[in-house]
Amino acid sequence: MSTSFLERVSAVSQRRLPIDARNDNLFGLLLAAPGVALFLSFMLFPIAFLVYLSLTDATHAGTVIGGDATIVGLENYIELVTDAQFWTSLTVTWLFLAASLAIKIVLGLGLAMLLTHARVIGKRYMRAVVIIPMGLPAIFIVTVWRGLFSGARFGPFNEILASYNDIITGVVGLFDQAVFFAAVSAPELLLVDLPISWLSGRWSAFLAYVMTEVWLAYPFMVIIIVSALQDVPMELHDAAKVDGAGYLYRFVHVTLPAVKRPVMFASILTAATSFQQFLIPWIFNGGGPSRQNELLIVYGYREAIELNQYAFASAIMVTAIAFIGLFMWLAVRKGDLAAGVNGA
Amino acid sequence: MNAIIAILSSVISIVASWTRKKATWPLRVIHTVRLTVQQVRAGNRSVLDLAKTALGTGSALAVLAVLMFPLYWIFAASLSAGTGLMSTDGLFADPTTYNLDAYRWVLFESPFVDALRNSLVVVFVTVSVSMSVVIPGAYALSRHEFRGRKKILYGYVLFTQVGAGLSIATLIALYVLFNSVGLSNNLLVLGLFYAAGAVPFNTWLLKTFMDNIPVSYEEAAVIDGAGRWQVIREVILPLSKPGIAVVLVFTFLAGWNEFIVARTLLRPENYTLSVELYALATAGQYDTPWTQFSAFAMLFAMPVALIYFFAQSYVESGLSFGGMEG
């Protein structure tokens, strides 16, 4: 599959200029070489070094540079699989990935359908607005959301929940006045106990992570689904309508098949970035409380930079890179299936 | 002084003509409303039909408002210096008390200006280095056959799809390596690192763009006696301008936005804007200076948002020619 994909990718560029071919060979190589060299020295070389580090017993940066590190084989990996923190971290990473991906797909599909709907006026402008988060720096978004989830009594989300409480109490109060013979008070179940320290609780912090991740990445979903929906000929919907198909039937049999492949492709890509999510947990609460929400990359980073366990951290990162590699391979494979690789 | 006025007036005229050309929606809204009223009066259009459209548009607007709430909040907060934001009741300060004190603080009392200079150094290195390897690389991969070409392409495609998170994984090794040669606290090295990270995606992007330039243009130039360099200079480069613009935007963003590598490698005197923003956001659990943070964040994100806004059609087409669009 992959070779034929590449062949098609390069098919267009196979048409070369009628310039001397032997000369050409060296010329092209020389032009491409600097980029490759730069990339190799700053990306592939560190990865190779990381693999080497993971096989040593280096603890802090000094031991690595001083040459005090000795090869210990797979000891770090054995330590890794017996470390409870590793399994906590891996579980919460996949949980985070799955939860945010599910919400992203549903939200993206809903928004895309809304913003291509015939009944909505000004769709083009709305689409431009809806993808704004894509044009903002991730560090900006994450720090702003940290503010929104502030645990203070007057933090934005606590403030919103406070007004929700007021509404519930108000509605129940009206009811109380109407049913004058019985004393009705707002049931505790419907009220929220404020203030919530969003980032100090395990699951509330997890919820905050997921919400932020969804907000970071939904524009990509929307763009891809919108362009897929626009490719569906209106005649298909009309034909289904004429045949008496209901809304749900048309959704399942016309809309879903059209967006299935693009959504799958986009899912692989955003899942890969969710898997590597670092900024959200790190900035929100450092993967806390008490390391319960440490996503994989945060776990590795902390072991290295804060706890000075370089070799161990390298083993974590090599594991993470293996997963990332899996995603990359999947993306290239499925991306080909989905898109037929545009422009090639 | 005259020069400044001349520049200002030309900017204003550009913006005005752009607005006239692009922002025709108020006119169209008026036109549509008039037409709809006529249709309903004449009985060509039922009120129910109209209500459905209103409902659809209204619900879309409501969803948008909810989604954009964080942006509105941060914008409002940046204007609410000294108004008791987040300490009294109410999500937003009274609009009549809006002021620019927070922005004044950011520009004149915070480390913003120093950090901006550091950021610009990093971005300059990133953009210039990556452009100077991406353009020739993309051209070679698009137009020339050489040994290892397919391997390079395949490697680039792999790293095109996911790249950003890898840099944190490799950060550990880099930290050790840079420390050992005393290069960790260096803005130029940081820019170089970002440039390296930006190579695969942007080369691939530009290569696919160049693939769509018909070879016949070059053939015509060769027949007219143009040499190899002349073909590149007078055919390839001018025709790839939109693609190069997109690459420029992406490499700029790569240098401007990155946080954790900068935070790990740099010492405080070299902090870039993103690191200072983080420092401000995490200054304290409960006493984070929200209004000042908001103003800082707005000033940090504004250039990016503006670039993105003006380059939007370019960037969207960039996404499609990068094979990212389904």
What residues contact residue A118 under an 8 Å CB cut-off, 6+ apart? Answer: none
Round to whole Å and give the CA distance between B120 and B203: 23
Yes or no: say if A278 and A305 are a contact pair by the CB < 8 Å rule: no
Which residues are registered as beta bridge partners of A71?
Answer: A56
Distance from the A124 Cα atom to the nearest Cα atom in chain B, whole angstroms: 11
Whether A67 contacts chain B with CB within 8 A? no
Nearest CB to B172 within list A18, A160, A314: A314
State pLDDT tens for residues B73-109. Answer: 888 888 887 766 655 556 676 777 788 888 888 888 8
Low-confidence spans in chain A with pLDDT less than 70? 1-24, 60-68, 180-188, 335-344
CATH code for the part of the protein at B108-321:
1.10.3720.10
Q: Where would I find the H helices in chain B? A: 2-22, 25-42, 47-67, 69-78, 101-108, 112-143, 149-161, 164-180, 187-211, 215-223, 228-231, 237-239, 241-257, 260-265, 273-281, 290-310, 312-321
pLDDT of res. A98: 94
Which of A7, A42, A111 best probes binding to B when mutated, by most B CB atoms within 10 angstroms? A42
Torsion of the alpha carbons at B176, B180, B186 and B191, rounded to the nearest 10: -50
Q: Which amino acid is at B61?
A: L
> How many CB pairs (< 8 A) connect A and B?
345
Q: Which domains does chain A have, with CATH numbers?
A: 77-150+205-344 (1.10.3720.10), 152-196 (no CATH)
Nearest CB to A272 within list B162, B168, B195: B162
| Residue A17 phi, psi (nearest 5) | -80, 150
State pLDDT tens for residues A252-311. Answer: 888 888 888 888 888 888 888 888 888 899 988 888 788 888 888 889 888 888 888 888
pLDDT: is B8 or A102 the higher one? A102
Whether A215 contacts chain B with CB within 8 A? yes
Which of A6, A26, A29, A38 best probes binding to B when mutated, by most B CB atoms within 10 angstroms? A38
What is this model's ipTM? 0.81
pLDDT: is A190 or B195 the higher one? B195
Q: For residue A32, what is the nearest residue in chain B, using CA coordinates?
A: B137
Whether A55 contacts chain B with CB within 8 A? no
Please report, for chain B, the start and end positions of each structural domain, with discontinuous segments joined by +.
Answer: 23-57, 108-321
Whether A4 contacts chain B with CB within 8 A? no
Round to whole Å and give the CA distance between B216 and B222: 10
A141 neighbourhood in chain B, CB within 8 Å: 70
| Residue B94 phi, psi (nearest 5) | -65, 120
Are residues A282 and B73, on separate chains, in Cβ contact within 8 Å? no
pLDDT of res. A186: 63
In the predicted model, is pLDDT for residue B214 greater than 90? no
Whether A200 contacts chain B with CB within 8 A? no
Whether A269 contacts chain B with CB within 8 A? yes
pLDDT of res. A79: 83
C-beta atoms surrounding A43 within 10 Å: 22
Are residues A276 and B168, on separate chains, in Cβ contact within 8 Å? yes
State pLDDT tens for residues A132-150. Answer: 888 888 889 998 898 888 8
The token pair at B96 is: 């009549």
Whether A181 contacts chain B with CB within 8 A? no
B222 neighbourhood in chain A, CB within 8 Å: 17-19
